[in-house]
Chains A and B, each alone.
Chain A
Amino acid sequence: MISEEQVKQVAKLARLNLTDEEVKTFAGQFEEIFGYIEILDEIDTSDVKETSQVTGLENVTESDEAVRKCSGDDLLVCSPLPKERKQIRVKPAIKK
């Protein structure tokens, strides 16, 4: 059972504003989706290793050199926020 409270808690962790209607809809849908996912409980995986990479590559390293694809100015243009002295002005992180 996934409660609306749980949905709100997860949304908080994900930094996601949800409307009351979205909270309600998601609670119902997650019930169904997680109900479906329970099918995995029928498999015993105690002796199985997990896979995170399928072609077997491990620890791919590169030489420690900066490779620039674009300039700082090119990147600043992408921000929707005001810029000052080649920096992006954001909202205060600590409230007064």
Chain B
Amino acid sequence: MDLSELSIDRVHEGLKNKEFSCVELTKAHLEQAKAENEKFNFMVTITEEEALEQAEKVDTKIAKGEELGILEGVPYCLKDIFCTKGIKTTFSSNFTREFVPPYDATVVKKLKDEGCVLIGKTNMDEFACGASTEYSVHGPSKNPVNPEYVTGGSSGGSAAAVATNSCVFSLGTDTGGSIRQPASFCGIVGLKNTYGRVSRSGVNSMASSLDTIGPFARNCKDAAYVLSKIAGQDHNDSTTPPEEVPDYVGKIDGDVRGLKIGVPKEFFDDKVDAEVSSAVKDALKKLQDNGAELVDVDFPSIKYAIAVYYILCPAELSANLARFDGIRYGSNPETEGEGLVDYYFNARGEGFGQEIKRRIMIGTYVLSAGYYDAYYKKAQKVRTMIIEEVNRIFEKVDVMVGPTSPFPAFKIGTKSNDPLQMYLADALTVPINIAGVPSLNIPVGETKEDSLPIGMQIIGPQFSEDLILKVGRKYEGIVN
């Protein structure tokens, strides 16, 4: 039995029945992480000591015959944007290359309380800005299917960690596609939750009105297990509503008979790669054959989404990164300069990479006096129109389905010097963040020539994670 390929159910069962120890399980994942990282550069920090210490605790519990929680002893990884007490958290930035947070993010604390085993922190685009995990002070991550290609981003390291069996699940953040797109490029499951479903406290903010947190896993049920433990209201994040957390796992098995699936034609236009379109259409056909009803819907405002996003996101990012002054945390610049203001200029100029500078500049420009109404306010208004359109679609259908990315993984270096092309890589994921609704990426095929994974997203109304996980699970059942 390969211990690094197990689902959460199998890990739980195996630990309980003493088929293997938690230390054995953890070592298998640590070895996998180290070996695969040599090839694909997706780990920033491997927390071997902490992992083995936690695994021993779990083994002691098992030896004493104590009851185990479902995630207890399960190896996982965290995107290097989640603050971990005493463990370096770099945000993949030169600015914070040595930052060691003094506290755990709410979700990290939750997973610690569950007894999960942290294998390490994963690579990402600097401050989560990017669609390829190339904009990182740690160098680009490489796609486990073919190292000439990107993993997608910004949570590319977390996707690669799951795809290489270096952990059972991982967490990422999705502001404009940063969970779904790398999940799609690496051929795994990735869930972007409803805005506010999971607490962001202790997770570095990128664009506060869009940021969400969610899991990567190798199947939908594992994602449901993780979500059920991290979702819910948190008094340290005032955007988490008191909305009840459903039993995602209990509700995951079911039928799609009579389910109305909206198929927006805009998701299948000529900007979408033909192979991607056809793989997603095949998957839709399979759901239809199992009783789902396909309904053509119109989503015309999708064409404004990238423009709206590249106003809102840099604006909010520039405000969030304004607190990075190199004084309370971060690194001091090589040239400190004469006075305090010089110090700020140097700390920020040396600390931030190109993409971050670019977005801070765009954000500062659109928020500056005289431009605020024309850009930020205008974008917020168009955002309302996109939300209203999504709501109208969900009056007619239960879920919407389309490709996650217009194309499969691209080659490293092909878009990193062309920001607009990189932004357009998010064309199908960004509208979902703008609407604040949940969306689940599942793998549905691969390209003929290079066997690159193709992903499909299942989008639901706000707080319908249970429904989209059920549809994903059903699809897995049909094809496996």
Contact = CB atoms under 8 A, between A and B. Distances in A.
Interface of A: 6-7, 10-11, 13-18, 22, 26, 29-30, 32-33, 36-37, 39-40, 43, 45, 48-55, 57, 60, 62, 67, 69-70, 74-75, 77-81, 88, 90-95
A38 B344 CA distance: 33
A22 B379 CA distance: 27
A52 B209 contact: yes
A17 B346 contact: yes
A50 B381 contact: yes
B276 interface: no
Nearest to B96: A78
Contacts of B101: 78
A91 B420 contact: no
A78 B420 CA distance: 36
B436 interface: yes
A80 B331 contact: yes
Contacts of B435: 54
A65 B304 CA distance: 43
B25 to A, nearest CB: 31
Contact of B102 (A16, A50, A75): A75
Chain A contact residues: over half helix, strand or loop, or mixed? loop
B181 to A, nearest CB: 20
Given A16-B361, A90-B327, 16 more contacts: A16-B360, A22-B357, A26-B357, A29-B419, A33-B420, A36-B306, A45-B378, A48-B384, A74-B102, A78-B99, A78-B101, A80-B326, A81-B332, A88-B327, A91-B337, A91-B339
A79 B329 contact: yes
B339 A95 contact: yes
B209 A54 contact: yes
A48 B348 CA distance: 37
B241 A55 contact: yes
B135 interface: no
B52 to A, nearest CB: 25
Contact of B380 (A14, A36, A39, A52): A52
Interface in B224-244: 235-236, 238-239, 241
Interface in B111-139: none
Contacts of B268: none
Contacts of A81: 327, 332
B362 interface: yes
Interface in B285-333: 303-304, 306-308, 310-311, 318, 322, 325-332
Contacts of A16: 345, 348-349, 352, 357, 360-361
A40 B378 contact: yes
B281 to A, nearest CB: 28
